[in-house]
Amino acid sequence: MNESDFLFDKEHIWHPYTSLIAPLPCIGVVAANGVELTLHDGTKLIDGMSSWWSTIHGYNHPRLNQAAKDQIDNMSHVMFGGVTHPSAIALCRRLVDMTAPELDRVFLSDSGSVAVEVALKMAIQYWVAKGQANKSQMLTIEHGYHGDTFAAMSVCDPVNGMHDLFNNVLTKQLFAKAPQIGFDETWNDDDIAPLTALFEAHHHHAAAIILEPIVQGAGGMRMYHPNYLKAVRQLCDKYDVLLICDEIATGFGRTGKMFASEHASITPDILCVGKALTGGYMSLAATITSQVIGETICKTKAGVFMHGPTFMGNPLACAVANESLAMLQENNWQAQVLSIESQLKELFKAFCALENVANTRVLGAIGVIELTKAVDMESIQAAFVKQGIWVRPFGKLVYIMPQYIITPSQLTTLCDGIYNVVANLSQKQDAS
């Protein structure tokens, strides 16, 4: 990569959540291996983001590479309408085995946002099939994030989320106050009262409630009490509302459980997974439900579930995902994640003494440092790169979701680099 490449990028390529008028500088990555990114000038950075939480086994893994090579020699893609293939069968068999016994019907899709769209459509079509087409609204909680497509945007936080520009055209959904009691705090039933009131008032026209179990991701990296999720399951059972768990960010061990809903010992009616499904190699997601719900959906006038992505069940993605899930189970992921969690809790103690740090929180392989003020993205990104690390904050939140294979020394280097940058910000704030 040379200067003209960066200039072309700046003038012609639209990056996510980036202004074309005042675009933020991009770093040029030319290779990645393990937990390191190699920049165009040879600089190596320890990646604390797992490429938006997906590369749990690290980059350029020989087993995942080989799975992709083996599959592409047979076929890279074939339509899934009226066709099946070994990679999809193997992947779906593994997903059924990994999830709760009730969850035994798998719908594959292209991305997490689409998996959420599929889940919402499943819930609506389910109630149409049961002769209750009036049950078409979604319940959810504030501070949630479920994707950038239109139905997914409608269940994201309508005020503090990223999609308030579209509020006038989005379907109006029903929001309750988000849980306030943290994961390790003392539970109080008052925390579920706002959602209970919402169920009582609106269950007659509510198809489902969708939420991120235990950890709310891009809506604020908030970690809430498992008893809240238990109470949600009870409300769904009482008021005949489906429960959709969006585990796109939390699934496959990230919180210390294979799925975050296991912290509350509950099973959703519909489960969405993605991100780490392929170990970060390519986009693939799944929406998983029960035989009862699946067969009910197919009793509508259409006789089928009304969704069918062109690249559904892509063989290349399925082959890599199947190998990634095999590796996850073989690598003793529980020990990997527990080790990361323990080290993060110890390393994060130093941040508590900084005046610009409001609080820190850790769960599984998730570490969050909440600052007192929002960061300047351009300057803080450059500061992190100087420290030899890649971290991408948002708002007041500096967070990491490292790869499960990160070594203790690499994790220490990552956290030390974050500390140096945050401490420097604190000194600047004091000086001003």
Please tell me which residue in 110, 275, 281, 419 is annotated as part of the active site.
275
Q: Cβ contacts of residue 308 below 8 Å, gap of 6+?
A: 80, 81
Residue 9 Cα distances to 13, 27, 44, 191, 380, angstroms: 5, 11, 21, 47, 21
CA 371 to chain centre: 22
Beta-strand relationship, 105-109 and 137-141: unpaired
Is 275 an annotated catalytic residue?
Answer: yes
Beta-strand relationship, 285-289 and 36-39: unpaired
Tell whether the torsion through CA atoms of 295, 301, 304 and 308 is positive or negative. negative
The residue assigned the tokens 């609204």 is: 137
**Type and span of the H or E element at 207:** strand 206-211
Is 69 an annotated catalytic residue?
Answer: no
Q: For residue 382, give the nearest of 27, 19, 8 by alpha carbon.
A: 27
Angle, vertex CA 225, rays to CA 220 and CA 228, nearest 5: 100
Is 246 an annotated catalytic residue?
Answer: yes
Question: Across the beta sheet with 105-109, what order do the strands follow?
Answer: 105-109, 285-289, 270-273, 242-246, 206-211, 137-141, 174-176
Strand partners, 289: 105, 270
Instruction: Characterize 120-130 residue by residue with b for buried, 16 or more Cβ atoms within 10 angstroms of its Cβ, and e for exposed.
Output: bbbbbbbbbbe
Question: Across the beta sheet with 366-371, what order do the strands follow?
Answer: 357-363, 366-371, 397-400
Tell whether the torsion through CA atoms of 321, 323, 326 and 331 is positive or negative. negative
The residue assigned the tokens 């600089």 is: 43
Please tell me which residue in 157, 191, 246, 269 is annotated as part of the active site.
246
The C-alpha atoms of residue 408 and residue 414 are separated, in whole angstroms, by 10
Please tell me which residue in 47, 110, 126, 145 is annotated as part of the active site.
145
Q: Cβ contacts of residue 172 below 8 Å, gap of 6+?
A: 137, 154
Q: For residue 268, give the nearest of 145, 44, 115, 166 by alpha carbon.
A: 115
Q: Which residues are catalytic?
A: 17, 145, 246, 275
